[in-house]
Amino acid sequence: MTPRGSHLFRVIWGDPFRGLTQEIVTAFDVDEALVVAHERRPELPRPRTALLVAENG
């Protein structure tokens, strides 16, 4: 991943066997995606997983 612009990330909370919650966020890197998702969903524990969905140039 290159730092040319913001990207779309899927941030995931939960357990695949008990249920997942997800949020799509725009961020420059994984760390920022996790922070943005936590700010959007403060009632959930801090997320630890973010997957790149699409790169923007």
Angle at 23 between CA 15 and CA 13, to 5 degrees: 20
Which residue would you say has higher pLDDT here, 57 or 49?
49
Which pair of structure tokens corresponds to residue 49? 């997983």
For residues 19 and 46, give the distance between their C-alpha atoms in angstroms, rounded to a whole number. Answer: 16
pLDDT 10s digits, 2-56: 456 899 999 999 988 999 999 999 999 999 999 999 999 999 999 999 999 988 7
Residues 42, 54: Cα–Cα separation, whole Å: 25
